[in-house]
C-alpha cells in the first residue's frame, strides 16, 4: 500500500515480493487404531516414541496387537504416530474403577483395569487466604493427592479444592487438569465438609501391615485384614474390555459424525499411513485377522485423507499356494480392497513375545513396514521404494512362510509385496507395489513410491496454496502461483525426486489463460496444472553376458 505523502522528503515503501514458500508436509506420520491397556478412548493422541505409548496407553498387552505394532514401528525407524484407543465394554463388569476417599467420589479417568493401581489421599492443610479469595471459609477446602503406582509412580496434586461452587470446584478442576481421575458421575455436593483420609485399598493395606506387626501376631486379625484388603481391591476392579468388533467399535452408528472409531482420525490434522492391527479371533487364537469390510472402509477413508493403508495378509495364508488361490479368487474378496492407496505385505513376521517368556510368535507386519517407510523417507526420500537390501526388518527373527524366487515371481505380478529372508542380509522387504500393482491392471499407480510421491505433492500444494483463496483472479495471481509452485517443484527436482536432467524434463506448472478460461473466472475458479515425471523402482535387473573370442590371426 502506498505511504501517505505529506511533507517534502524521502519516503520508504516496502513492495511485496509475491514469494510464499510452500513447505513439504510430513510423509510418514502413522495412525494406529486398536485396543490398549489404558488411555483415552476414541481420542487421537500423538506420540513420538514407544515410551510415550507406555505412559499413555500402558505398554505391551497380550490382548492388544496394536501395542506390538506400535513397538515395531518405532523399532524400525518410525518418528511420529497417532494412536486411537478403542474399548469394547464387558456387559458383565464395570468399565472404570470407582472409589471414595474423604467423601470425594473418584472414578478412573479412562476405562480399564489400570484404575485399580490408583491411590488417593485427602488432607485439610489448606490456605485460609485462598478460601477468602474464593468467597469461602477454610473448612470448605481440601487437598487431593492421586498416585498411579502402576505407571512409573505418576503423582498429581490438587490444592485448595472445594465442593462449593467456585473456581476450585472439584469436578471442574479434575476434568481440566487430571489425567488420572474424575469426579464420579454428575456433580452433587456432599452434605458435609470433606474429611482427611486415604483410599480404601491404602487403608486396608495399612491395617494389614499393623496386624502383621502386632506383638504377638493375631492370626484372626491378620485374616480379617487380608479379607478387607481383597474386598477393597475387588471393589476397584474393572474390566479391560472384550474383543473389538467392526460395527460396534470401528464403524459404529454415526461414527463419522461423532468422530469415533476409524473416524476418530478426523481429530488429527495429518496422517500419512494407516495401520489397523488384527483384532479378530480366528481358529481359537486372539488378534489374528481383520474384517475385510473394515479394510474396504479404511481404504476409502485413506483415499479421502491422502494417506496409504498398509494391509496385513490373512493369518491362514500359510503358503504361497494359499495366498495365490485366495488373492485371485474370482468371486470372493479376501483382502477387502484393490485401492491405489493400499499395499499388501506377505507373510507375517515371527519374533519373541516378551509377555510369554520370549516364545516365538507370528505378528502382523504392518507396524514394522510403517517404520520401514519412515526410515526410508528420512534417509532417501518418499520417492525411494521402501524395499531392497537396505530395507531390513529390525527385530524380526524369522518369517512365517519362507518364499523362493519362483514363488516370489508368482506373487509379485499380482501386487502382493513379499517379505524375504536372504543369507547374510537377513529379513527384508522385497516388493513395492500398491494393490493396483498387478501387471494385468496396467495402472499408473503401480508402485508405492510413485503413489506416495503424488500424495506428498498433493497435500503440500493443498496446504501451501490456501493463500490463493479470494485473491483477484487474473495474471498477477497466476504469475505468483507459477512462481511459488514452481519453486516447490524445483526444490524436489534438485533433491532427486523426479526423472530427467533438466527441470523442463522433470516437471511443469501451468496456470494461465489456457488453464483458467473466462468462464472459470466468472465462476470463481483458478486452475493449476502440475505434472511430474516420477521415479520408478528398478524391479528387474537384467545382466546380459556373452563370451568373446580371443584375438584371432586372419
- Domains of the chain in start order, with CATH, are 1-22+472-554 (no CATH), 30-88+243-450 (3.40.50.11780), 98-236 (2.60.40.4290)
CA distances from residue 346 to 316, 326, 419, 491 in whole angstroms, order as listed? 11, 13, 6, 36
CA distances from residue 164 to 104, 160, 186, 501 in whole angstroms, order as listed? 13, 11, 14, 74
pLDDT of residue 38: 93
Q: Decide if 303 contacts 339 (C-beta within 8 A).
A: yes
Mean pLDDT of 213-229: 81
pLDDT of residue 285: 58
Pairwise CA distance, residues 55 & 72, whole Å: 17
Tell me which range, 1-10, 111-120, 211-220, is most confidently predicted by mean pLDDT: 111-120
pLDDT of residue 223: 84
pLDDT of residue 412: 95
Q: Decide if 381 contacts 496 (C-beta within 8 A).
A: yes
User: For cell 493369518, what's the residue?
Assistant: 315
pLDDT of residue 283: 53
Which of 156-170, 174-188, 279-293 comes out lowest in average pLDDT? 279-293
| Percent of the chain's residues with pLDDT above 70 | 97
Segment 350-394, tens digit of pLDDT: 999 999 999 999 999 999 999 999 999 999 999 999 999 999 999
Tell me which range, 20-24, 104-108, 285-289, is most confidently predicted by mean pLDDT: 20-24
Please indicate whether residue 210 or residue 281 has the higher confidence score (pLDDT).
Answer: 210
Which of 131-135, 173-177, 237-241 comes out lowest in average pLDDT? 237-241
Mean pLDDT of 237-255: 92
Whether cis (ω within 30° of 0) applies to the bond prior to 294 is no
Mean pLDDT of 487-504: 96
Task: State the DSSP H helix or E strand holding residue 351, giving kind and residue range, or none if neither.
Answer: strand 349-353
Mean pLDDT of 203-229: 81
- Of 531, 533, 527, 493, give the one whose Cα is nearest residue 512: 527
Segment 86-127, tens digit of pLDDT: 999 998 888 988 888 877 889 999 999 998 889 999 999 999
pLDDT category at 185 given cuts 50, 70, 90 is low
Q: Dihedral angle at the C-alpha atoms of 174, 178, 179, 181, nearest 10 degrees?
A: -40
Residues 6+ apart with CB under 8 A from 341: 299, 302, 303, 307, 308, 309, 434, 451, 455
pLDDT of residue 36: 95
pLDDT of residue 286: 56
Per-residue 3-state assignment (H helix, E strand, C coil) for 481-543: HHHHHHHHHHHHHHCCCECCCCHHHHEEEECCCCCCCHHHHHCCCCCCEEEECECCCCCCCCC
Helix H segments across 6-165? 50-57, 65-75, 128-133
pLDDT category at 1 given cuts 50, 70, 90 is low
pLDDT of residue 224: 83
Amino acid at each position: 500500500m502506498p505511504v501517505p505523502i505529506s511533507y517534502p522528503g524521502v519516503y520508504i515503501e516496502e513492495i511485496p515480493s509475491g514469494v510464499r514458500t510452500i513447505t513439504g508436509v510430513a510423509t510418514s506420520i502413522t495412525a494406529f487404531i486398536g485396543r490398549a491397556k489404558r488411555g483415552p478412548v476414541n481420542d487421537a493422541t500423538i506420540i513420538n516414541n514407544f515410551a510415550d505409548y507406555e505412559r499413555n496407553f500402558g505398554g505391551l498387552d497380550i490382548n492388544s496387537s496394536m501395542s506390538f505394532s506400535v513397538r515395531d514401528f518405532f523399532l524400525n525407524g518410525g518418528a511420529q504416530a497417532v494412536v486411537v484407543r478403542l474399548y469394547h465394554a464387558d456387559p458383565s463388569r464395570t468399565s472404570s474403577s470407582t472409589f471414595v476417599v474423604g467423601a470425594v467420589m473418584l472414578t478412573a479417568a479412562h476405562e480399564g483395569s489400570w484404575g485399580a493401581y490408583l491411590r488417593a489421599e485427602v488432607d485439610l492443610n489448606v490456605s485460609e487466604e485462598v478460601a477468602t479469595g474464593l468467597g469461602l471459609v477454610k473448612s470448605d477446602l481440601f487437598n487431593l493427592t492421586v498416585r498411579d503406582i502402576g505407571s512409573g509412580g505418576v503423582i498429581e496434586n490438587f490444592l485448595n479444592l472445594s465442593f462449593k461452587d467456585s473456581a476450585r470446584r472439584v469436578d471442574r478442576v479434575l476434568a481440566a487438569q487430571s489425567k488420572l481421575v474424575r469426579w464420579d458421575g454428575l456433580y452433587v455436593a456432599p452434605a458435609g465438609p470433606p474429611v482427611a483420609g486415604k483410599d480404601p485399598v491404602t487403608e486396608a493395606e495399612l491395617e494389614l501391615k499393623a496386624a502383621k506387626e502386632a506383638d504377638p501376631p493375631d492370626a484372626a486379625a491378620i485374616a480379617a485384614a487380608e479379607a478387607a484388603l481383597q474386598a477393597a481391591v475387588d471393589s476397584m476392579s474393572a474390566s479391560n474390555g472384550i474383543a473389538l468388533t467392526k460395527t460396534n467399535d470401528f464403524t459404529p452408528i454415526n461414527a463419522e459424525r461423532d468422530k469415533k472409531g476409524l473416524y476418530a482420525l478426523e481429530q488429527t490434522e495429518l496422517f500419512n499411513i494407516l495401520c489397523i492391527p488384527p483384532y479378530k479371533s480366528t481358529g481359537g487364537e486372539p488378534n489374528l485377522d481383520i474384517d475385510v469390510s473394515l479394510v474396504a472402509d479404511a481404504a476409502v477413508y485413506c483415499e479421502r485423507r491422502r494417506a496409504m493403508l498398509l494391509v496385513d495378509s490373512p493369518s491362514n495364508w500359510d503358503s504361497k499356494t494359499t495366498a495365490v488361490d485366495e488373492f485371485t479368487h474370482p468371486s470372493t474378496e479376501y483382502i477387502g480392497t484393490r485401492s491405489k492407496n493400499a499395499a499388501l505385505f506377505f507373510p507375517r513376521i515371527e519374533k519373541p513375545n516378551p509377555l510369554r517368556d520370549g516364545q516365538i510368535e507370528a505378528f502382523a507386519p504392518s507396524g514394522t513396514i510403517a517404520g520401514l517407510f519412515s526410515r526410508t523417507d528420512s534417509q532417501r526420500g518418499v520417492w525411494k521404494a521402501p524395499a531392497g537390501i537396505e530395507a531390513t526388518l529390525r527385530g524380526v527373527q524369522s518369517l512365517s512362510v519362507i518364499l523362493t524366487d519362483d514363488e516370489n515371481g508368482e506373487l509379485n505380478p499380482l501386487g502382493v509385496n513379499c517379505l524375504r529372508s536372504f543369507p547374510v542380509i537377513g529379513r527384508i522387504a522385497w516388493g513395492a507395489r500398491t494393490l493396483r500393482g498387478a501387471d494385468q491392471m496396467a495402472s499408473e499407480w503401480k508402485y508405492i513410491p510413485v503413489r506416495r510421491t503424488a500424495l506428498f505433492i498433493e497435500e503440500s500444494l493443498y496446504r501451501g496454496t490456501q493463500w490463493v483463496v479470494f485473491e483477484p483472479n487474473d495474471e498477477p495471481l497466476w504469475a505468483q502461483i507459477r512462481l511459488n509452485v514452481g519453486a516447490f517443484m524445483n526444490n524436489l527436482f534438485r533433491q532427486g525426486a523426479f526423472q530427467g536432467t533438466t527441470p523442463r524434463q522433470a516437471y511443469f506448472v501451468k496456470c494461465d489463460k489456457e488453464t483458467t478460461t473466462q468462464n472459470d473466472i466468472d465462476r470463481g475458479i483458478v486452475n493449476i496444472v502440475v505434472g511430474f515425471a516420477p521415479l520408478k523402482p528398478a524391479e528387474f535387473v537384467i545382466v546380459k553376458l556373452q563370451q568373446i573370442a580371443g584375438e584371432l590371426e586372419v
